[in-house]
């Protein structure tokens, strides 16, 4: 049986694509590079939108990327159920593309912040988090300047009521996110966005002093194999 194929998207200014591809490979999947200007998903089984500063974060984080040619293919595929994970800038892009509700604003402390953050898993009902247990606390690095999740009251209430909050910051809230939200999913559950970086927490030797990020990759690969 051939390995599950996870597309890793590179926009101009994407930075964590190498890390994301390595994490997919470590988990036993095949990482398929997808180029922003190429409107072709190459038949991948899932898509990872990594972090970075796509298009320099000019105008607004993710605001230009959502118009990339690749997104013309990705947006309808995601709406039709393709599993998509966006981390950091990837999360910002998913919000700008209206695949996820709400927006990510400048951190409350106004500084970029890089630290190892405790995060609580609130939902395992997604193809990216099924290997975790609900309420489990994990450690993932965060590194962002604009990670404060905001949404209007109705949206926030709907997210909470629908179990769409997937991750919450535990301990101290690093950026002032509403309801300590670190990550959310769409109603269907196939699209997940979060500010923390699972791809930097998959190896003992490198990255954060945690391998909790492996759960994302084992979850999706299991799901793809069992499709």
Catalytic residue among 96, 122, 146, 199: 199
Catalytic residue among 36, 144, 197, 200: 197
Residue-by-residue DSSP string for the chain: -PPPEEEEEE-TTB-SHHHHHHHHHHTT-EEEEEETT----TT-SEEEE--B-GGGG-SSTTTTGGGSHHHHHHHHHHHTT--EEEETHHHHHHHHTTSSSSEEE--TTSS-EEEEEEEEE----STTTTTS-TT-EEEEEEEESS-EEE--HHHHHHHHHTT-EEEEE-SS-SS--GGGEEEEE-SSSSEEEESS-GGGSS-SSSSSS--TTHHHHHHHHHHHHT-
Catalytic: 144?
Answer: no
- Of residues 46-75, those binding other proteins (CB under 8 A): 52-53, 55-58
Q: How far is the CB of 186 from other proteins (least distance, A)?
A: 27
Residue 114 as a binder of other proteins (CB under 8 A): the answer is yes
- Of residues 136-155, those binding other proteins (CB under 8 A): 141, 143, 145
CB nearer to other proteins: give 80 or 205. 205
Catalytic residue among 88, 95, 146, 200: 88
CB nearer to other proteins: give 58 or 67. 58
**Residues with catalytic roles:** 88, 197, 199
The residues that touch other proteins, with contacts defined as CB under 8 A, are 12-13, 15-16, 18-19, 22-23, 52-53, 55-58, 111-115, 141, 143, 145, 197, 199-200, 203, 205-208
């Amino acid at each position: 049986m051939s390995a599950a194929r996870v597309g890793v998207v590179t926009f101009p200014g994407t930075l964590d694509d190498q890390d994301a591809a390595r994490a997919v490979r470590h988990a036993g999947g095949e990482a398929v590079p997808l180029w922003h200007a190429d409107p072709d998903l190459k038949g991948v089984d899932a898509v990872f939108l990594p972090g970075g500063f796509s298009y320099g974060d000019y105008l607004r984080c993710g605001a230009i990327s959502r118009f990339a040619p690749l997104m013309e293919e990705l947006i309808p595929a995601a709406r039709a159920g393709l599993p998509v994970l966006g981390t950091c800038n990837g999360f910002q892009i998913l919000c700008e593309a209206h695949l996820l509700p709400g927006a990510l604003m400048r951190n409350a402390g106004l500084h970029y912040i890089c630290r190892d953050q405790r995060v609580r898993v609130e939902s395992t009902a997604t193809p990216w988090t099924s290997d975790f247990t609900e309420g489990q606390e994990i450690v993932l690095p965060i590194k962002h300047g604009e990670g404060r999740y905001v949404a209007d009251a109705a949206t926030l209430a709907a997210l909470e009521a629908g179990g769409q909050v997937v991750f919450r910051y535990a301990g101290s809230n690093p950026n002032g996110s509403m309801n300590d939200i670190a990550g959310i999913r769409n109603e269907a559950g196939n699209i997940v966005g979060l500010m923390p970086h699972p791809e930097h927490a998959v190896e003992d030797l490198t990255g954060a002093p945690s391998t909790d990020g492996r759960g994302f990759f084992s979850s999706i690969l299991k799901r793809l194999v069992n499709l």
